[in-house]
Chains A and B, each alone.
Chain A
């Protein structure tokens, strides 16, 4: 299967620790997106990349969150000094670099902050 893959699928951490999630997009796709989803809610946009350039970042996103896509392939999302409110499903998606293109989502990385 050559879909979007995310790692780890589940992460349990203690408040104040740092966590990092990795996303490997579909290889032909040059856009990569990160979303956050809490139970029963719609995905909330965090940021997106076109190749290695981060083109947009949500203004609601705390400075504790940072994302990178150093070589225009895989991406990492790091959360520093985690808080209980960070507990959520973190979704990665990729697409071709066209505004008409649909996003293809991974299965997500579930974060639980104790």
Chain B
């Protein structure tokens, strides 16, 4: 069965500092991994995805994520956080042979000036 874990309910960083939002997954086949962001009272917005190839993928708004197969992780990163990055972030996984996308519980990112 597919599953996703986001071990931190909230991450606090100061503006200008690097940020990391953690995600681990479990699938039976090869994973397709995604990150989404949700602002208050809005739908989910796609940030980036890993399908195959380079373990470091780059996405929207300066975000990137590192795929680590041995640790079954797909952590979201940004070199320099902005106050406007404050939002709810979701990691999601799809098993290679399946259609449904399974989401984690989400991590609230708070960036303070």
Contacts and interface: CB of A to CB of B under 8 A. Distances in A.
Contacts of A43: 44, 90, 103
A68 B59 CA distance: 34
Interface centre among B42, B44, B46, B90 (most CB of A within 10 A): B44
A56 B100 contact: yes
Interface stretch (B11-19, B65-73, B91-99): B91-99
A55 B99 contact: yes
Contacts of B98: 56, 99
| Interface size range of chain A in the complex | 20 to 34
A107 B42 contact: yes
A104 interface: yes
B98 to A, nearest CB: 7
Q: How large is the interface on B (under 10, 10 to 19, 20 to 34, 35 or more residues)?
A: 20 to 34
B43 A108 contact: yes
A106 B44 CA distance: 8
B44 A100 contact: no
Given A102-B46, A104-B46, A106-B43, A42 B100 contact: no
Interface of A: 4, 31, 33, 35, 40-45, 48, 50, 55-56, 91, 93, 99-100, 102-108
12 contacts: A31-B99, A33-B100, A35-B103, A42-B90, A43-B44, A43-B90, A56-B98, A56-B100, A99-B94, A100-B49, A103-B44, A107-B42
